[in-house]
Structure 1
């Protein structure tokens, strides 16, 4: 969430006076507040374009230096930006009074009388850690969802409630909550939220806010199965690549973007962010949005052909990428048209209940499969894992192991052909 605002420093000019009070006016979403900077500024020594006092000047009867006033301007700007960031991360557009109170609190003018709740600390955790570690939007979203679950679980929750018994009750809550008109989360979803809560509790312990350390040794007894890696095998990828949709240009575009992922290993977010300036003769460069990993990826004939097809589009971006939700729908439509309908069994647990679901493969294909398709096919083509990792940005073999296992199994099946 980004709150659009207009911020400007103004001189409150008074008739026949050579200097004026300096104030900072902020407008957003129909709200307006103004803060007194605390200094008077000589009218003829103020540079409106720069929003600063002229260097090496003094101001008012007290002859305050420009450096002192400009430093306070910088500090106030930073405080205002931090306050907007706070409200943006809470997903809240503040009223004028709420914004003023938060700024005053940050300036030390309001002393908090009420003791902070565990949710206040969780919000502090989200803001501090998100800023320090450059969290993605998805990480912010996951933690906000976790915090909301904790509020529903126990509105008056405290750190001391999260003993082994309290954490077990939290797991029971996840197992019985209504999700998408069904009772109970899938086990791996519940484990995800428990681990996110543990992340917060570890931070709170290190800060000295949390004295209950049961989370360190608590193990949720939820059976899970590793997620199956869904990808297009080479013949399926070629079927999609060679398909044409002359009467459906949106499908043609989605097909090209998805195939570009399959031939470069780029995530959806990185393809969407790829600029023409990132394309060179025979390779592209990018810094991944998810991990800030700088990558150099050589182009093959397929990825080159796709870039060539869209080289004359307007704007700075290399490809006109549809929004993710539409892309995922279009990819399923494309794969269905290409008859990629092999039945795939997906198994998961809800509590102790094992559930097997059969889906035609096209239902399970989305933008997240492009990168997996690249990795699996590269390994099955015999490209060494350490080379593939240089293209994908994987830093260790642990995260590559599921793909290596798939490639090894494919090689075993291929060897059986000699036995016919």
Structure 2
């Protein structure tokens, strides 16, 4: 993956975050082997192994989604090895060999919250200033961090109509997307001579929480999580849940709430199905009701 001899299903090089996840898997798998005092072969991967593997990480109090990610990575490796003739073990295809998932508290920021972040004067703190600007580019384009953080003059195109768009190829999917550029987006790009400063996801995640707090995004939010196999809840401030991925989710959700057709937003985000897209965006029950109130059935207007 690192040197490009193994490409993804789109025949593109793997992204840095994907490689990082697989390296993390190797470390965790080695730790599991040491704990069990055994080296596992392809043919050892059966349902008994699966139950033990999941139990090991549950005892270490890993989140359901982290355990699920490790199982998913193991299944991908097993499939690739089988396709290359290294084994013929098909146990991973069993329904019992399940990739565990739990719904995570993926919030989105409203247009007014995004404006509050944009209006902050961060001129005396370069790190926060850059993190804020890069994050806002994500909100305005509804792209992944790997795509929105790397936008430069080569992605800016002016159409015959005189309108400016962001034209890019998504790193993860290879999809070609064209995004209408909002004035706020163009202003940020112009601030950096149409080349965003180099930023790192970990650093942006750290600073954007502080920026969101300064912008007053401190609404109390109840989140659920799993600890030692038990579902629990706790109250946190919304700013503490803001991260780089919040930008893409906020962009997509706000486009939807603005009345932009779902199919048009999907062409920007890269979602393949409407079902997948509707699970991705965050619409509260209240927002859904407000949207329905404008429908003739509820408003009484023909």
- For the criterion TM > 0.5, the same-fold answer is yes
> Given that residues 137 and 149 in structure 2 are in contact (C-alpha distance below 8 angstroms), is that contact kept between their aligned partners in structure 1?
no
Aligned match of 2:243: 366
Say if 2:187 is the partner of 1:305: yes
Q: What residue in structure 1 maps to residue 167 of structure 2?
A: 285
Matches within 5 A, 1:50-61: none
With over 3 angstroms needed to count, the CA separation of the structure-2 counterparts of 1:156 and 1:375, relative to structure 1, is same
Structure 1 unaligned segments of length 5 or more: list them: 3-84, 90-126, 177-182, 312-316
SS of 1:174's partner is: helix
Bigger Cα Rg:
1
Give the Cα separation in 2 of the matches to 1:202 and 1:222: 14
Aligned partner of 2:42 among 143, 152, 159 = 159
SS in 2 for 1:148: helix
Q: Aligned-pair distance for 1:170?
A: 1.4
Secondary structure of 1:297 counterpart: strand
Pairing 1:56-205 to 2, within 5 Å after superposition = 85=3, 128=6, 133-154=12-33, 155-176=38-59, 183-205=60-82
Could you tell me which residue of structure 1 aligns to residue 212 of structure 2? 335
1:343-370: per-residue Cα shift (whole Å, max 9, x none)? Answer: 1222122453112232211111122111
Contact 1:222-1:351 at 8 Å conserved across structures = no
CA distance in 1: counterparts of 2:281 and 2:31, whole angstroms: 41
- Equivalent-residue separation in structure 2 for 1:335 and 1:144 (angstroms): 32
Offset, 1:230: 1.3
Aligned mates of 2:260, 2:120 — CA distance in 1 = 27
CA distance in 2, matches of 1:222, 1:264: 31
Once superposed, what is the RMSD of the aligned Cα atoms? Answer: 2.9
Question: Structure 1 residues 336, 292: CA separation in 2 closer, same or farther (over 3 Å shift)?
Answer: same
Matched pairs, number: 286
More strand by share: 1
Q: Name 2:161's counterpart in structure 1.
A: none
Structure 2 distance, partners of 1:223, 1:294, is 31
Higher relative contact order (CA 8 A, sep 6+): 2
The TM-score, its normalising length taken from structure 1, stands at 0.61
SS of residue matched to 1:285: strand
Instruction: Please report the TM-score for the alignment, with normalisation by the length of structure 2.
Output: 0.83
Conserved 8 A contact 1:230-1:365: yes
